[in-house]
Amino acid sequence: MPGYRPEEIEKKWQAHWKEHNTFKADNQSGKPKYYVLDMFPYPSGAGLHVGHPLGYIASDIVSRYKRLQGYHVLHPMGFDSFGLPAEQYAIQTGQHPALTTEKNIDTYIKQLNSLGFSYDWSREVRTSDPAYYKWTQWIFLKLFNAWYNLDTDRAEPIETLIAQFEQSGNAGVRAAGDDEERPSFTAEEWKAKSEPEQMATLLAYRLAYQSDTYVNWCAALGTVLSNDEVKDGVSERGGFPVERRLMPQWNLRITAYADRLLTGLDTIDWPEAVKEMQRNWIGRSVGAEVVFPLQNDASQNIKVYTTRVDTIYGATFMVLAPEHELVEQLTTPEQREAVESYIAQSKHRSERDRMADVKTVSGVFTGSYCLNPLTNEPVPIWLADYVLAGYGTGAVMAVPSGDQRDWNFAKHFGLPIIQVLDAQKDIEKEADPTKEGRFINSGIIDGLGYKEATTKLIGWLEERGLGKGKVNFRVRDAIFGRQRYWGEPIPIYYKDGTAYGLPESELPLVLPEIDEYKPTETGEPPLGRAQDWKYEGKYEYELSTMPGWAGSSWYYLRYMDPHNQERFVGQEAEEYWKTVDLYMGGAEHATGHLLYSRFWYLFLKDLGLVSGHEPFQKLINQGMILGRSNFVYRINGTNQFVTLSKKGQYDTTPLHVDVSIVDNDVLDQEAFRKWRPDYTNAEFVMEDNGTYVCGTEVEKMSKNKFNVVNPDVLVGQYGADALRLYEMFLGPLEQFKPWNTSGMSGVSGFLKKLWRLFHPEDGNLAVTDEAPAPAELKALHKAIRKAAEDIDKFSFNTSVSTFMICVNELTALNCHKRAILEPLTVVVSPYAPHLAEELWAELGHAPGSISEASFPEFKEEYLEEATVEYPIAFNGKMRGKMTFAANAPTSEIEKEVLASEVFEKFGEGKTPKKVIVVPGRMVNVVL
């Protein structure tokens, strides 16, 4: 075969793998199992750019390596195919989102296959497939028909709760959720309730429930957005205004699992940064709930949750969230205009913006007061958007001497600041949150320390029914509804206004056809446009669809048994694969997908449907590949563009230019003129050598910056194996790395060198059966050891360097020996699988069988040197060198040194006092 031709080799082996289902995994094997999972992609219309495959390449290397180690590997791929982008495109074009999604998936599959990934495509799943989302709906119904029993610390079927109600009412029932929403009733009162009344009562206990919830509402998109989809008060997609609005929403009671989600983090091998993000998001705190009666109506009160009840004597004002339910009642006529204006303003700030903005001070006085339960003194009630309705009670007792945000607020509005600990310092300059010292100005706890004061106060409050000790969590129940079309229908119907779960036998509830994909003229979600879409022809279905994270919260389980029509995953398949051994994906999912997936898994564990403890045992976050942008410099007011070195001589504006028409920062001027109509008549002020040199900057790869590099182009030019090697070679997997296409030529050259070890001068196969020399074995075994160590540590970039060194050494040794090249082919195969398959077949093995080979065993003895060169020193000064056998005893080394020409020349005819031999290092003769 003349030369290395990746374009032929790679297509050949990709076709072979597909035809022979080379990477298909059965749900049973005598081998140990290993489950490798990529965070599956959303199939956008733009397809993949070179930054996307980074994690896929790494996980594929691990998958192929584990097969060589004797593992039975599951390495699947699918698509998170519901979502807002496809729906927005459908609104703009009128084309059904299923059609664009299908087209995008076809593009992704073609691109993924072109990179040689060893996926078991027989297990592909798509979240928008009714056969898949039937089971997403099934899990939702399980959540709807379950409650969380705090006594058993697990979820249980709702029937067990109903049985308790029938026997003894809700006395003694300890359920996750807000007890204040659950009036007490006896067994007789329960039985006397009508069916709708019973259903309404149960709704307050269910793990999937409906309630009025503050959400991020985007009128232009006609839907609720998650906090992740809102930035600076506008939607991330489209930049449309977003406001906080109280709306009836489906919620999932993730708060029931907060403690277990927290403790489970200690059992999994995840990056510490990700675990810390989840700990902070869950936000466990130990404190107290305290009642502040209203001054003008002692029958009503404001509850606050505080972790510093010890500072209650320093509470000089109360702050409520603008959405707090008592705001209307507390606002006096004199303050109404100011309060309404402030509330309107705060609606346009997302919760994330409100939490993150620690510099801006804003607020408004309601005109009303509550009473400090310890002193009975009036406390003014203010509104401020740094307090969130959904966290704690939506109210904060403000202690400016100990909290900086409260201190800023007090200073801004001229409110009192009271010192409560003798150890607090400089509180006129800033807050001091210390817990040291003794309490002052603090009534019944004066003179006490922090722990004693806290215990005494909680006891005092509990005795009088004014408070209690409490553990609280920052995490809030997950909003589980979107006013969109392209998502899973929620399997709920309404009878006389009461929500009922669809019978499981009726699943899947399939998305109906509609005429348009935007909200109705009356403001209903797009599903309100469906004609005659009712349960049993008369009961209205829920019109919201599930959020994007619904289908991705359990997809890893479906991969285990994707064609099972009777169960979401077969019991035997689940017990065999159990959990994901390695999960590869981006850190941006730390508090979204990863948290919700763990929640769903724990719930399914409670129902006895899964057998592990956590879904993902090891997590690796790959870094981002950054784009290398190019800029041209337009002279303002003209259509002239000045080169980089001369731009300082003119008044210019830098403009991004498509990197595909730039080569080593030199612009293709004719291509630039053809790139966009407004550049047709562009003129250039060039370098002295007649070229136009662009400016550069490393930044996020984005279509808007024209710095996206299409992997299809690079595969066509250099081959998939070269692209795989280069992406790994760029640097440590977890780090951010700049892309530079010019580096591709280096790894391409390495692959050609590897080919020539088998085909000298690109001729026919010339592998011999000669016995290998020590130097050849040393080069090989260095590569074996390094590759194994690196893959086990997920440090892929240094392996590529090792391969290059090995091939250079073998080339210098003119090595063409089977005993060296055959194991080297196996070692390189996880990184460059196409070339490895070709060489493996040429060596006489069954076509496509390299994944069934065994990873070569590293042997230390091949790295041991036969001889060692010793520096010979006299009184510490090196005077010459001598070579000895590596295992030579010190006595023999000493004898030979004293008999050598070096000693004769530098020994000065003296009898040495002693000879010091440092084995393997040096000899020092002391005269």
For residues 107 and 708, the answer to whether their CB atoms sit within 8 Å is: no
Q: What is the SS3 assignment for 861?
A: helix
Tokens 């997908």 belong to 593
**703 labeled part of a ligand binding site:** yes
Residue found under tokens 């019109």: 543
- Write the secondary structure of 474-525 as one string of H (helix), E (strand) and C (coil): CCCCEECCECCCCCCECCEEEECCEEEECCHHHCCCCCCCCCCCCCCCCCCC
Q: Which residues pair with 867 in a beta bridge?
A: 885
Sheet containing 922-926, strands listed edge to edge, beginning at the edge strand earlier in sequence: 877-885, 867-874, 922-926, 914-918
Residue type, 834: H
For residues 391 and 385, what is the distance between their CA atoms, to the nearest angstrom?
12
Q: Measure the CA–CA gap between 599 and 606, rounded to whole angstroms.
A: 11
User: Which tokens in the block code for residue 902?
Assistant: 């070096």
Residue 806 to residues 759, 802, 825: CA-CA distances in angstroms?
17, 6, 12
Give the integer Cα–Cα distance in Å for 483 and 524.
Answer: 8
**Kind of pairing, strands 72-74 and 619-621?**
unpaired
Q: Please, which residues have CB within 8 angstroms of residue 708's CB and are 6 or more apart in sequence?
A: 46, 49, 627, 659, 701, 702
Residue 145: strand, helix, or coil = coil
Half-sphere exposure (Cβ direction) of 198: Cα atoms closer than 13 Å: 19
CA-CA-CA-CA dihedral for 595, 597, 598, 602, to nearest 10: 140
Beta bridge partners of 245: 215
Q: Which residues on adjacent β-strands are paired with residue 666? A: 663, 693
H or E stretch including 467? strand 467-473
Under 8 Å between Cβ of 206 and 147: yes
CA–CA gap between residue 139 and residue 502 (Å, rounded): 12
| Cα of 243 vs its chain's centroid, Å | 27
| 311 contacts: CB under 8 Å, gap ≥ 6 | 399, 401, 402, 420
Report the distance separating Cα 398 and Cα 145, nearest Å: 41
Question: Distance of CA 162 to CAs 157, 207, 208, 872, Å?
Answer: 9, 15, 16, 90
How is the beta sheet containing 72-74 ordered, strand by strand? 72-74, 33-38, 582-585, 619-621
Q: Is 919 helix (H, G, I), strand (E, B) or coil?
A: coil
Q: Which residues contact 144 (CB under 8 A, 6 or more apart)?
A: 206, 207, 208, 209, 492, 501
Distance CA 402, CA 391 (A): 20
Cα angle 291-292-297, degrees, rounded to a multiple of 5? 115
- Helix 818-828 to helix 774-793 angle, to the nearest 10 degrees? 10
* DSSP string of 57-99, one letter each residue: HHHHHHHHHHHHTT-EEE----B----HHHHHHHHHH---HHH
Residue closest to 652 by CA, chosen among 629, 684, 625, 623: 684
Cα 135 to Cα 140: distance, rounded to the nearest angstrom: 8
Instruction: Name the binding residues for ATP.
Output: 703
Instruction: Name the binding residues.
Output: 703
